Amino acid sequence: MQVEELPIKGVLKLTPKIYKDNRGLFLETWQKKRYEEFGVPTEFVQDNLSISSKNVLRGLHFQKEHPQGKLITLLKGKIFDVVVDFRKYSPTFGQWAGTYLSAENFEQLWIPPGLAHGFLVCSDEALFNYKCTEYYYPQDEKTILWNDPTLEIEWPLSASPILSAKDECGTSFEAEAK
């Protein structure tokens, strides 16, 4: 497995070893001992599946009182994944990092608790699974504006993004960081 740390401390891009032959392919998407070696927690309490079409932009979401760590596995398509550091004690507090994830090599992203998360679908459709270290509490979920001018996220937009009502009316990073 290849592991690359992104500029935000603790955020890891993981590329598993894929075994291909004339029948198809095989890979491990999770193996407790191996992931522990890279600092990925081994206790997940919830798995989620997300399917989105091209130009859908989801995020930037986080939970303030019950922060979730997430291990994302891209199963189909290509996305531009973004994290924003919301950990006040972190030297990268208020900074963002983005990376492309592709199902061609089943790339994964480990996002530690305390980061806001969002993504833009760059392919016709994207399908991914993510494991969470904390339960989802709808009353605790917060949304930062995807285009917050203080963050200056460089989304690779080819058209206007398709947003949910919740994502259209997110709040500023500065307001949430108080």
Catalytic residues: 61, 130
Which pair of tokens denotes residue 175?
């307001």
In the chain, how many H helices and how many E strands? 3, 13
CA 35-39-45 angle, 5° bins: 70
Q: Which segments of the chain does DSSP mark as H helices, in order?
A: 32-37, 165-168, 173-177
3-class SS at 156? coil
- How far is residue 123 from each of residues 22, 53, 111, 151, 162, measured CA to CA in Å? 26, 8, 22, 25, 14
